[in-house]
């Protein structure tokens, strides 16, 4: 990418890199997602001189094939998760598109090292 700078990289983390989700135990997952956030911040500093921006988005609960199966098997978990999200609903993968498009576009040309949480407000509570 350095040959074609300026450039932009968007890493996909998770809100779990910033907060401990409840009620499920997932320490290894949380640690891995925190590492992604920190890697994005570190690379943002290291590569800024090459005009390469590095940012991270941290999705909240997203309704994917995997989470749909988990929620189908445990309807109470669906109620629990939804109750913890101020917007009152679980996100969908397409809810991430605007954040990614923004961070890859020139509209964010002065944004680097950011962690943009797309979580319906979960991490605010």
Catalytic residue annotation: 14, 29, 33
What are the helix (H) ranges across the chain?
27-47, 65-73, 75-84, 97-104
Instruction: Tell how strand 115-118 and strand 52-59 pair up.
Output: parallel
- Sheet harboring 52-59: ordered strands across? 7-12, 52-59, 115-118
């Amino acid at each position: 990418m350095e040959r074609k700078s300026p450039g932009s990289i968007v890493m996909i983390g998770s809100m779990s890199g910033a907060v401990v989700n409840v009620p499920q135990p997932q320490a290894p997952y949380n640690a891995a997602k925190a590492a992604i956030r920190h890697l994005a911040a570190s690379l943002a500093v290291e590569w800024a001189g090459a005009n390469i921006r590095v940012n991270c988005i941290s999705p909240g609960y997203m309704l994917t094939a995997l989470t749909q199966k988990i929620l189908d098997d445990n309807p109470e978990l669906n109620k629990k998760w939804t109750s913890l999200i101020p917007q009152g609903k679980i996100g969908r993968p397409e809810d991430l598109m605007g954040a990614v498009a923004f961070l890859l576009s020139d509209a964010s040309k002065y944004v680097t090292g950011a962690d943009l949480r797309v979580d319906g407000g979960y991490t605010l509570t």
